[in-house]
Structure 1
């Protein structure tokens, strides 16, 4: 009988330990909302979740890159829209100056040409996040007057953002492209000449400036078009990344998250099982503990 009592005591103790471990696991599932909190609980599920989280981090980084690129494009687009408006005004002035104008009108036109040039210079050297919008990778001014000559002082670098596994998009245009330096006739020199022509009453130069301003507007339009294409690519990538991230999060939830109602029912069952094990232990202990200790 001593062997029987000893065996019953050990069995009851093991049942209590197992029931207690199951109860603790059920309590963790309810309190954390997770199916497992350590690899040993579900090795396959944990490995799958780790892989999905790694993929999710990659998608989140691509989404962050896309958002940053979209901001660069929006800032550049807004500046170029203003450049276009200022050049349109310069064209209106050139048309007015090319027709009859008295000295006072010519002086006013020349003053406004100079003001537009200065505004365009500010726009060309505008910054975003501490970097020149139209300067490529260079941190200094994108446009400056060097030894009396208007000069593009950026580096022409293409600012890019990785917005997908195999997709990189350029999010900038440079001042040499949109302000005419590449084409050989920059808008700053053009406005200098138009200012001088207005002061001198040189209607021929002002008339020729109309066509040159149209060309300058074309360069700006090209820049806006490129930004628009890049912006649409980014919008499409953001939508795609959002769908993919939502799908991954849903899969993670299916693997990791518990059904709350089911988890609570399981917890109650574990509690009853644990209480039953304690009751059995108490009954067997009364009959066998003394024998076990002999």
Structure 2
């Protein structure tokens, strides 16, 4: 077979270009730590990496939702504890109001109960990040409206929210609701915080009843009617506190699992995309050696230096 005079130079140039391309790619891998720079480097791995990135993005969003839920749940939990203190004091006043108390003392107790009602409304009307906590899904308006008479006594506390609560996704196909509607007398759905027809809880109504009976000196009615009602309200509130505490614990557990899942996914991406530095350096050294050998052999065979050849 006849070989033309320019066959070897052309082959040498092609070999040098191939080695140079490999050398550049390995140098880039060494500098960046990434095995894959372009989709054509490893199409199968690219597909796996894209799937891992999609899954990681979803888990990170779930993790962000959990952070928001945890924050809101803790604010609500603190409100429940503050409400429990009001419930405790109301129970104490209902116990103190017996036949041994003077009318003036009962009037003083009534004034304190009025203040307790106002304080409870203030607690339950608080916002978090611009949204009311205990209004159900009507988070743009205060859940409770207070009505007083000319003497400043509370005559009514009206619930303006609804009995619905929003849920946020915390995993694939899993939604979690942490809000508590202020009241729910529909007989279904989440239990209301201060009023619920299923348990007979109606905290504000019973506080107003206590206030009014103190004003009239009806200590017998307080003992027989108001005190048992306040005890039921307290049990109802304790149930909410227990449930909220359990929700916070669940959020923390799921958050920890999400963190571990994100770490695992990041490690999987790293295994697919990251270059093995030791192996890459060995390969780079081999390619550089081959490149220098090609230059030397070419120069020897052609009896010219690389610079001469390039001219």
- State the 1:288 CA deviation: 11
Q: 2: CA distance between counterparts of 1:124 and 1:42?
A: 58
- State the 1:96 CA deviation: 0.7
What SS does the aligned partner of 1:86 have?
helix
Q: Number of aligned pairs?
A: 290
Q: 2: CA distance between counterparts of 1:259 and 1:284?
A: 37
What SS does the aligned partner of 1:141 have?
coil
CA contact (8 A) 1:137 1:159 kept: yes
Q: What is the aligned partner in structure 1 of residue 48 from structure 2? A: 48
* Structure (1/2) with the larger helix percentage: 1
CA contact (8 A) 2:20 2:291 kept: yes
Which structure 1 residue ranges, 5 or more long, are not aligned? none
Q: What is the aligned partner in structure 2 of residue 230 from structure 1? A: 247
| Cα offsets for 1:103-140 (capped at 9, x unmatched) | 44323312221111111101111111211111112110
Q: 2: CA distance between counterparts of 1:275 and 1:266?
A: 14
Is 1:133 equivalent to 2:133 in the alignment?
A: yes
Alignment of 1:47-196 (within 5 A): 47-138=47-138, 139-145=140-146, 149-176=156-183, 177-180=192-195, 182=197, 186-196=202-212
Q: 2: CA distance between counterparts of 1:99 and 1:44?
A: 85
1:199 aligned residue (199, 203, 215): 215
Q: 1: CA distance between counterparts of 2:110 and 2:147?
A: 23
Q: 2: CA distance between counterparts of 1:57 and 1:185?
A: 44
Q: How does the TM-score come out when normalised to structure 2? A: 0.84
CA contact (8 A) 1:13 1:281 kept: no
Q: What is the aligned partner in structure 2 of residue 263 from structure 1? A: 280
Q: How does the TM-score come out when normalised to structure 1? A: 0.89
Show structure 1 runs of 4+ deviating over 6 A. Answer: none
Cα 1:98/1:281, change in 2 over 3 Å: farther
What root-mean-square deviation, in Å, do the aligned CA atoms of Structure 1 and Structure 2 show? Answer: 2.6
| Cα offsets for 1:57-97 (capped at 9, x unmatched) | 11111222222222222111111111111101110011111
Bigger relative contact order (CA 8 A; separation at least 6): 1
Which structure 2 residue ranges, 5 or more long, are not aligned? 149-154, 184-191
1:251 aligned residue (268, 293, 303): 268
